[in-house]
Amino acid sequence: MRLLYLIVLPLFIIACSPSTQITASWQNPDMEDSDYQNILVAAMTRDLEARSTVEGELAVALQEAGVKVTNSGKLFTPSETNDVEKNRDMMLEKIRQNGSDAILTVALLDEKSETRYVPGAATYAPTVRYGFYGGFYNYYDYRYPMVYDPGYYTQDKTYFLESNLYDAETEELLWTAQSRTYNPANLDKFAEEFARVIVSRLQKEDMI
């Protein structure tokens, strides 16, 4: 029983471990006021579904932390965000008119894929009954000694993201964090976990 416990426990811990982890973070040492309570969240992607999902989950997590939130998708049109250089002043003005005192951006830095082979397993199937020598089929049914599970190839995916918090008035970078997400199950689960991890770190480092 103890051996089984020692085998199962690490597997349980691995299964319960978050797939998103922050690998590094930085705070502006010259920052004076970190009590930001009205944040605009902006996922830097042209994929409208991904943008809406990530911003939505960040909004939920921030609101649960007592912060007022506006999604960039509700403030800007896709054409405005597709040409930030042209629309920069207009976008900043909209953010300030909205009452946002900080801007939280999320951007994908890199994506890596790795194919690996998962070897098959052969297990012994012991016979627990007698009387199987009466014919070939009985013998085959009872005595086939090995059960083989063939191996297969699987592709692991790792996503590297960067989250930045800016002061809406000065545009100064206040806080930044890089994170790594390993084999996300789907967009919804990724966004929910990512938001929880990021907001938790913002709270831990007294940014909100």
Share in percent of the chain as helix, strand, coil (round to 5)? 40, 35, 30
Regarding the domain delimited by 19-111+158-204, which CATH topology (the fold level of the hierarchy) does it fall under?
Double Stranded RNA Binding Domain (3.30.160)
Give the pLDDT score at 12. 35
Tokens of 25: 């973070």
What is the pLDDT averaged over residues 151-173?
89
60 against 113, higher pLDDT: 60
Backbone angles phi, psi at 155, to 5 degrees: -115, 120
The whole-angstrom separation of Cα 185 and Cα 203 is 26
- CA torsion 166-41-63-15 (nearest 10°) is -100
Has residue 140 got a pLDDT over 80? no
The whole-angstrom separation of Cα 55 and Cα 73 is 8
Cβ pair 39, 208 in contact under 8 A: yes
Radius of gyration from C-alpha coordinates of the chain: 26
Task: Indicate the domain borders of the chain.
Answer: 19-111+158-204, 117-149
Residues 53-102: pLDDT tens digits? Answer: 999 999 999 999 999 999 998 888 877 777 777 778 888 889 989 999 99
Residues 118-133: pLDDT tens digits? Answer: 776 665 555 545 454 4
What rounded mean pLDDT belongs to the chain? Answer: 80
Give the pLDDT score at 122. 60
Give the pLDDT score at 9. 36
